[in-house]
Structure 1
Amino acid sequence: MEIGREEEGDHDMSLSIGTLQIAGSNGFDHNIMSQGYQRNSRSSEIDIEEVEIKDRPLPIFLKFEDVEYKVRSSQASSKNPVKDMVSKVASQLSMEQDNYKHILKGITGSIGPGEILALMGPSGSGKTTLLQIIGGRLHENVKGSITYNDIPYNPALKRRIGFVTQDDLLFPQLTVEETLIFAAFLRLPSNMTQQQKHSRVEMIVKELGLESCRHTRIGGSLVKGVSGGERKRTSIGHEILVDPSLLLLDEPTSGLDSTSANKLLQILQRVAKAGRTVITTIHQPSSRMFHMFDKLLLISEGYPVYYGKAKDSVEYFSSLRFIPEIAMNPAEFILDLATGQVNDISVPQDLLTPRGAPEFEREVVKYLQRKYKVEVEPIEKGENHGTRKTPEHLQLAIQVKKDWTMSWWEQFTILSKRTFKARRRDYFDKLRLAQALGVAVLLGLLWWKSKMKTEAQLRDQIGLLYYICIFWSSSSIFGAVYVFPFEKVYLVKERKADMYRLSVYYVCSTLCDMVAHIVYPTLFMLILYFMAGFKRTIPCFFLTLFAILLVAITSQGAGELFGAAVLSIKRAGMIASLVLMLFLLTGGYYVQHIPVFIKWLKYLSFMYYGFRLLLKVQYSGDQLYECGRKGGCRSLQSSPSFDTVNLNGDLKEVWILLAMALTYRFCAYICLRKRISICNV
């Protein structure tokens, strides 16, 4: 069978997860693949597009040799600050040059299309770390060789690798179908029609058995949704939707019952047979699941203790005279060996430490590590790393970076729809609506038909204007400050997959959130304005509303900046509280004449400009009040309340607030880009 030739009956742009079968093979055979592409290599020109086999992903042959990874000891700190401090002082006093903790200590292996490699080992052995290194998510302090079709990792591989994390990072408010459809529109090629993309989603839904829950929300800790198995299958569908060549899964069966876990492994088998290279970490599979794996890499304390066919693992350890004395699950048997717990397991006689000694378990692990180093590793390096070479076509194809599937505007259109759907329950929350309307009615009753005939009445009305400023500033700033910290995990995941441009995400987030920051203040002012007895003219009403909206939108920008700067829910809220308090005090109501040495603070406050703008819109300097006093009427400009405000001046505050709103957002975008780029390293 020639891999480069399509089978009859294949349809354009279709994805059949279980269609690719090679006779007499459990997947792709390396030699067959090589021969098929060597025949094509006689052509004088290399057509990279032909390497992308229709309906199948680009084959990736992965090899990793002597992979080591270490972190600074300070990074692997405990939760006890006193213990961390003592350890830090001790490490500084000791003059050791190598102040690192070694996580991986020389891991070697290889895997090709059509195969599933299981990474097993006790907790903390380094399984997830190795998976992240293979996926290109860890680069620093990594030693060894990792190649994809004999080529080192490069940015072009980003969109050819699917990574399913242990925690399913899916938007809880979207349904299963919506999650997959938005992923399809963002990630599938732009030359596909909408109907073809919907067909691809429909096929994935059927293949993964998600028909019964397609219209159910994903849900989460606070939102009721699909089951754990359905959520995991949706995560896998989200990745295989775009035909990744290399699919990596971190503990995909954790939290699932035995039946759901078996069904998930059967799906992964079909995924692999479609031409993908699949690697998964798994803790303790059932015996049935264990035999579904093609290859097994067993890690203990960062060292490999077995690599080879999963079905041959028990035989290998038996050859070392580690033989179970009772019937045992193969996975349980090898994990016991990896931890040195050999109860009900006979051990070789050449172990120097007697059974039952405190260091016996440690000696068992060391024994297995030595045997692997001598008997298994040289064979793997010789067979898969020394002789086999990937065809030149695949080496070149793996270096071709895929362009964005959509233009900036197309990405904006799709992402804005997804953002609005994912957050619509927050935008149109009944409690939030009740708060806005309730506060408006309460203020309207407290300031019912307020007057400005006397100084005291004028002060009351000015106080209401300042409270409105405070209310919408705080509401907007706290409504925006938590957005990026909450969505950080989704953003990092999708940016690592190059799903969209960061600028598109930021603009969509800002504009969609702006809906709530416009709708609620508008409803609020429609109720309060006429109850409180403000100036009853249409221009004055709309100017007042415009001023409130400007304050809310500027506050939103400030909240986004604080959230993007730290990407931490706790710290972002604390910073927002401190800044809001500072802006509140310097807003011009509580203190009009601020000391010169600290006067500059008020020019940073958007509440200062918003409050001045409201006063200029609502009042004019030649208006008269206190006409009942002996000296006659006075102009509003002569009131002490307007000592620092020229009521007849121009509305320069509008331009200042607009400039502040744009500056906050520009700085927020820069901070977000910097912080996300650090997370993507």
Structure 2
Amino acid sequence: MEIGREDELIDISISPSSGASTNIVRNYGHNKEFMSHQNRYSEIDIVVEDSSSNHNPPLPIFLKFEDVEFKVRNSQAGSNNPVKTMVSKVSTQLTVEDERYKRILKGITGSIGPGEILALMGPSGSGKTTLLRVIGGRLLDNVKGKITYNDVKFTAAIKRRIGFVTQEDVLFPQLTVEETLIFSAFLRLPNNMSKQEKYEKVDDTVKQLGLERCRNTKIGGGYLKGISGGERKRTSIGYEILVDPSLLLLDEPTSGLDSTSANKLLLTLQELAKDGRTIITTIHQPSSRIFHMFDKLLLISEGYPVYYGKARETMEYFSSLRFIPQIPMNPAEFLLDLATGQVNDISVPTDIFQDHESSDTSKNVIKYLQLKYKALLEPKEKEKNHGAPNTPEHLQLAIQVKKEWTLSWFDQFMILSRRTFKARCKDYFDKLRLVQALGLALLLGLLWWKSSTNTEAQLRDQVGLVFYICIFWTSTCIFGAVYVFPFEKYYLIKERKADMYRLSVYYACSTLCDMVAHVFYPTFFMIILYFMAGFKRTVACFFLTLFTVLLIAITSQGAGELFGAAVMSIKRSGNAASLILMLFLLTGGYYVQHIPKFMRWLKYLSFMYYGFRLLLKVQYSGDQLYDCESLGGCRPLQSSPTFDTVNLKGGLEEVWVLLAMAICFRLLAYFFLRKRIDVRN
């Protein structure tokens, strides 16, 4: 259909298979003026079509933000010294609200359109990253001001058109560059795209970002050798642009890169902007070459804006205010000196000291720049935002159409389980773990070689081995699971914020893939130890014993996941697991059989108690005779003091208790994981 106006003609064709997904094709040539002003919409020819096409530019986004403020509670941002906090409150005579909150952003205004790169500059702690997170919809509470995307306020549909590249490159170290992008593509691109189209999309992204040389190299990190810092950053960018975001936000993308790598990265961003993306990046102190690659610049000092406009006009503006460097300076260095009030090598206007009574030069400079911005630049920017014609209706409608790239639960599970297994495969089949299981099984087998139950002492020895098996696999599986969520929380938070998959899918994949190791190693261990140690040689008894050990391992895994999800800290979760494990060990029924009544309830919380009892019931029969060479003659095993508290003739109700515990631990782990991740979101 056609929508006509006096100054424009828009042709909108909707593919029947496109569903709710939308892509916009612009035809405005290379006119940079169109990119920075909203008064030339007549040059747009828009086609809304199937999002499976890999060659369509992203939907143009015109971003406007006005009087943006953000505050946090003083407990989060204030001083840890209560005396200093109290003195500060009294001396400044803060209001009740100001006592509770600290303002981070203090009225920031600006705008940017497709094809432009906006740099957010300022000293550390000035609020650059906070503003980026507010614009990206990562911070929604305690935000004031007006932020619009094509004159539409932030919605979940808009969120899916925003790519956010964090300062830290949160990538799985065991995956290669290509695997990282492929899994991202399969999780995020729409289901109506074929596998071949998704592979082609990844291939195009690899070529666009210049990653061909390292496409089959692992990401690496820590002690694992991998790609360079610049390649990691470009991979992080590729991770986001796979889904054609209209607005790309980057937090300190050149941090830790040498000048050559940083320059290549900015050239890449320029190419991405030419495709019609709106790009905003925070940057600390770029080189002069990189500085001139930006279209617009927002300079922030202590949460206040002190400059907003074209990057190439910054020196001219500050010269008009009579701030002139006395020695040759990188423009970025000059601006940061002004933003911090350090003017040792900069000539300043004399009226700064006349208008301000403070003897602190840096505070006077910052205050002066803030006032000049309010008087000279802010009114013009607000007038431009208000005076410019509204975004065309078709762009407003298009940005509100939700991009449906989320797959069904089962499809997400199949893709994510493959990625999880591949990312953790080295840990699952680690040589050290294999040697540990093999070595310990052989050692225990030799120590308990052909053990028997002929006498009370021999019986006690063999029961000690049974309890040690219980201890070993309980501790191994708890500590193998307790660190999983704390280690992966940053990956999880990043991908959940991008709506890549459901949290339930992640948890199911994580626990089922980890279960591979928690089943393989105990099985390998028991096959070796069982027959060396002289346990009951029947097929049924072997498989029941193996089943019990696996049940203990799986229950322990669930407990470890619960502790990790509840604490979400590597150090604290380990301490919590150690404490609980010690409690379970003491109440397991071997060291202390007759626990005092007021402490007896603890053993019913211990899955080691139920696991140990179940192993004894499986391995020994109450009617079995032993100690036949004693003066009193043969006695049944049930009469041994070892089994005072265990009825060997009783049923196997411990199986149901352990199964119930395994399920409850996992449900609670999922509950805590959702609570912790949602708080961080």
- What is the TM-score with the length of structure 2 in the denominator? 0.92
Distance 1:29 1:89 in 2: 47
User: Deviation of residue 51 (structure 1)?
Assistant: 14
In structure 2, the residue matched to 1:648 is 649
List per-residue Cα deviations over 1:623-679 (Å, max 9, x = no partner): 000111222210011111111211122111111111110111011111111110100
Distance 1:88 1:570 in 2: 30
Distance 1:629 1:589 in 2: 25
Distance 1:26 1:52 in 2: 28
In structure 1, the residue matched to 2:605 is 604
| Equivalent position to 1:84, from 81, 84, 87 | 81
In structure 1, the residue matched to 2:341 is 340
Distance 1:600 1:88 in 2: 47
The answer to whether the aligner puts 1:238 opposite 2:245 as a matched pair is no
List per-residue Cα deviations over 1:387-438 (Å, max 9, x = no partner): 3311222222322333353111111111001101111111111111111111
Distance 1:32 1:139 in 2: 30
Count of aligned pairs: 661
Distance 2:456 2:285 in 1: 78
Distance 1:180 1:51 in 2: 17
In structure 2, the residue matched to 1:226 is 227
Q: Which moved more, 1:336-345 or 1:194-203?
A: 336-345
Amino acid at match of 1:360: T
Secondary structure of 2:120's aligned partner: strand
Q: Given that residues 453 and 625 in structure 1 are in contact (C-alpha distance below 8 angstroms), is that contact kept between their aligned partners in structure 2? A: yes
In structure 2, the residue matched to 1:123 is 124
Distance 2:78 2:179 in 1: 40
Q: Show the 5 A alignment for 1:412-427.
A: 412-427=413-428
In structure 2, the residue matched to 1:554 is 555
Distance 1:33 1:572 in 2: 58
The answer to whether the aligner puts 1:314 opposite 2:315 as a matched pair is yes
Secondary structure of 1:351's aligned partner: helix
> Is the alpha carbon distance of 1:134 and 1:210 closer, same or farther for their aligned partners in structure 2, counting shifts above 3 Å?
same
> Is the alpha carbon distance of 1:142 and 1:151 closer, same or farther for their aligned partners in structure 2, counting shifts above 3 Å?
same
Secondary structure of 2:223's aligned partner: coil
Q: Show the 5 A alignment for 1:266-281.
A: 266-281=267-282
List per-residue Cα deviations over 1:526-584 (Å, max 9, x = no partner): 11111100011111111101100000000000000111111111111111111111111
> Is the alpha carbon distance of 1:306 and 1:657 closer, same or farther for their aligned partners in structure 2, counting shifts above 3 Å?
same
In structure 1, the residue matched to 2:4 is none
Distance 2:477 2:170 in 1: 27
User: Deviation of residue 618 (structure 1)?
Assistant: 0.4
Q: Given that residues 159 and 244 in structure 1 are in contact (C-alpha distance below 8 angstroms), is that contact kept between their aligned partners in structure 2? A: yes
Secondary structure of 1:352's aligned partner: helix
Distance 1:17 1:117 in 2: 22
Q: Show the 5 A alignment for 1:224-303.
A: 224-303=225-304
Q: Show the 5 A alignment for 1:490-501.
A: 490-501=491-502
Q: Given that residues 114 and 273 in structure 1 are in contact (C-alpha distance below 8 angstroms), is that contact kept between their aligned partners in structure 2? A: yes
Distance 1:52 1:382 in 2: 39
Amino acid at match of 2:412: Q
The answer to whether the aligner puts 1:22 opposite 2:29 as a matched pair is yes
Amino acid at match of 1:558: A
User: Deviation of residue 367 (structure 1)?
Assistant: 1.1
Q: Which moved more, 1:212-221 or 1:49-58?
A: 49-58
Distance 1:403 1:639 in 2: 67
Amino acid at match of 1:34: Y
User: Deviation of residue 85 (structure 1)?
Assistant: 4.4
Distance 1:56 1:2 in 2: 20
> Is the alpha carbon distance of 1:31 and 1:302 closer, same or farther for their aligned partners in structure 2, counting shifts above 3 Å?
closer
Distance 2:199 2:9 in 1: 27
Distance 2:602 2:233 in 1: 51
Distance 2:580 2:511 in 1: 21
List per-residue Cα deviations over 1:340-384 (Å, max 9, x = no partner): 2223322223222599x9512221211111111001000000012
List per-residue Cα deviations over 1:56-109 (Å, max 9, x = no partner): 21221111111111222221256xxxx534446668998851213221111000
Distance 1:29 1:254 in 2: 27
Q: Show the 5 A alignment for 1:482-521.
A: 482-521=483-522
Q: Show the 5 A alignment for 1:352-367.
A: 352=353, 359-367=360-368
> Is the alpha carbon distance of 1:20 and 1:417 closer, same or farther for their aligned partners in structure 2, counting shifts above 3 Å?
farther
Distance 1:33 1:538 in 2: 82
In structure 2, the residue matched to 1:101 is 102
The answer to whether the aligner puts 1:388 opposite 2:395 as a matched pair is no
Q: Which moved more, 1:115-124 or 1:360-369?
A: 360-369
Secondary structure of 1:104's aligned partner: strand
Q: Which moved more, 1:517-526 or 1:140-149?
A: 140-149
> Is the alpha carbon distance of 1:358 and 1:272 closer, same or farther for their aligned partners in structure 2, counting shifts above 3 Å?
same
User: Deviation of residue 36 (structure 1)?
Assistant: 5.4
Q: Show the 5 A alignment for 1:318-467.
A: 318-352=319-353, 359-467=360-468
Q: Given that residues 503 and 674 in structure 2 are in contact (C-alpha distance below 8 angstroms), is that contact kept between their aligned partners in structure 1? A: yes
List per-residue Cα deviations over 1:226-263 (Å, max 9, x = no partner): 11001001000101111011100000001111111111
Distance 1:238 1:654 in 2: 45
**Superposition RMSD in Å:** 2.7
User: Deviation of residue 161 (structure 1)?
Assistant: 0.9
> Is the alpha carbon distance of 1:369 and 1:31 closer, same or farther for their aligned partners in structure 2, counting shifts above 3 Å?
closer
> Is the alpha carbon distance of 1:407 and 1:235 closer, same or farther for their aligned partners in structure 2, counting shifts above 3 Å?
same
In structure 2, the residue matched to 1:9 is none
In structure 1, the residue matched to 2:567 is 566
Amino acid at match of 1:205: V
Q: Given that residues 27 and 115 in structure 1 are in contact (C-alpha distance below 8 angstroms), is that contact kept between their aligned partners in structure 2? A: no
List per-residue Cα deviations over 1:605-627 (Å, max 9, x = no partner): 11111111101110111100011
> Is the alpha carbon distance of 1:156 and 1:19 closer, same or farther for their aligned partners in structure 2, counting shifts above 3 Å?
closer
Amino acid at match of 2:110: G
> Is the alpha carbon distance of 1:113 and 1:95 closer, same or farther for their aligned partners in structure 2, counting shifts above 3 Å?
closer
In structure 1, the residue matched to 2:3 is none
> Is the alpha carbon distance of 1:32 and 1:303 closer, same or farther for their aligned partners in structure 2, counting shifts above 3 Å?
closer
Q: Given that residues 52 and 190 in structure 2 are in contact (C-alpha distance below 8 angstroms), is that contact kept between their aligned partners in structure 1? A: no
Q: Given that residues 74 and 88 in structure 1 are in contact (C-alpha distance below 8 angstroms), is that contact kept between their aligned partners in structure 2? A: no
In structure 2, the residue matched to 1:586 is 587
Secondary structure of 1:152's aligned partner: coil
Amino acid at match of 1:103: I
> Is the alpha carbon distance of 1:642 and 1:3 closer, same or farther for their aligned partners in structure 2, counting shifts above 3 Å?
farther
Q: Given that residues 449 and 533 in structure 1 are in contact (C-alpha distance below 8 angstroms), is that contact kept between their aligned partners in structure 2? A: yes
> Is the alpha carbon distance of 1:5 and 1:199 closer, same or farther for their aligned partners in structure 2, counting shifts above 3 Å?
farther
Q: Which moved more, 1:85-94 or 1:117-126?
A: 85-94
Q: Given that residues 24 and 59 in structure 2 are in contact (C-alpha distance below 8 angstroms), is that contact kept between their aligned partners in structure 1? A: no
Q: Given that residues 24 and 56 in structure 2 are in contact (C-alpha distance below 8 angstroms), is that contact kept between their aligned partners in structure 1? A: no
Q: Show the 5 A alignment for 1:135-214.
A: 135-214=136-215
Secondary structure of 2:174's aligned partner: coil
Amino acid at match of 1:505: Y
Distance 1:27 1:516 in 2: 58
Q: Given that residues 417 and 509 in structure 2 are in contact (C-alpha distance below 8 angstroms), is that contact kept between their aligned partners in structure 1? A: yes
Amino acid at match of 1:491: L
Q: Which moved more, 1:95-104 or 1:116-125?
A: 95-104
Runs of 5+ consecutive residues of structure 1 not aligned to the other structure = 7-11, 41-45
Distance 2:162 2:675 in 1: 23
Distance 1:505 1:488 in 2: 11
- What is the TM-score with the length of structure 1 in the denominator? 0.92
Amino acid at match of 2:41: S
Distance 1:92 1:350 in 2: 31
Amino acid at match of 1:22: G
User: Deviation of residue 120 (structure 1)?
Assistant: 0.5
In structure 1, the residue matched to 2:216 is 215
User: Deviation of residue 487 (structure 1)?
Assistant: 0.4
Q: Given that residues 587 and 606 in structure 2 are in contact (C-alpha distance below 8 angstroms), is that contact kept between their aligned partners in structure 1? A: yes
Amino acid at match of 2:81: D
